[in-house]
Amino acid sequence: EAQVTQNPRYLITVTGKKLTVTCSQNMNHEYMSWYRQDPGLGLRQIYYSMNVEVTDKGDVPEGYKVSRKEKRNFPLILESPSPNQTSLYFCASSLAAGTNTEAFFGQGTRLTVV
Amino acid sequence: SQQGEEDPQALSIQEGENATMNCSYKTSINNLQWYRQNSGRGLVHLILIRSNEREKHSGRLRVTLDTSKKSSSLLITASRAADTASYFCATDAWTGGGADGLTFGKGTHLIIQP
């Protein structure tokens, strides 16, 4: 089954404690991205990757890091989480950037930073 | 990056009625997509309409695109309780080097009353 898998689904952490949210896709997609979703603000792109070892900033990259060492994995790293990073996070993948192909989304990670 | 805007923000109708949601965007697009999000879960792709198409159907969904008005509409006919969800339009835009990734509006929250 084609899918994007995020882990964990729920996470409560304390300010400053480094964390990683994993994302894996089984569709051999080249393009992967991370979004955060906040009430009243919609979905905003954090980082994206066009291919292995190619990553770039989205609209709200501050406080986040990513890596793309393998095609299937695109982890999101919060080196020193802060309460303003409390949000619902989604990983997505697609064959290519833009709207030429559909994007597949993970089930989301609800992060709370206290 | 540009962003689509859905209208209305929220819509409540009776089961069996038709639901219409609108999306406006700011600059010329390559394609436009619609996604559905059930509460707190990942987005699911519904339909893609290309900039040279005016109308597209998929089951009970009908999407129109008016590039002169920079707007799109999503019509769900004969609504069902399972259609209760948030609906987002997603666009991209051609920049100097190529297509941007997806940018989303803030969504229309649709409630189908039994």
pLDDT per position as a tens digit, A3-25: 999 999 999 999 999 999 999 99
In chain B, what residues touch A105 (CB-CB under 8 Å)? 42-44
The predicted structure's pLDDT at residue B3: 62
User: Residue A79: left if φ>0, alpha if ψ -120 to 50, beta else—which one?
Assistant: alpha
What's the Rg (C-alpha) of chain B? 14
The predicted structure's pLDDT at residue A111: 98
Higher pLDDT, B29 or A7: A7
Of A4, A99, A102, the CB nearest to B30: A99
Q: Can you tell me the mean pLDDT for B62-85?
A: 96
Q: Has residue B97 got a pLDDT over 60?
A: no
Chain A CB within 8 Å of residue B90 CB: yes
Please answer whether residues B86 and B76 qualify as being in contact, where contact means their C-beta atoms are separated by less than 8 angstroms: no
User: Could you tell me where the DSSP H helices lie in B1-114?
Assistant: none
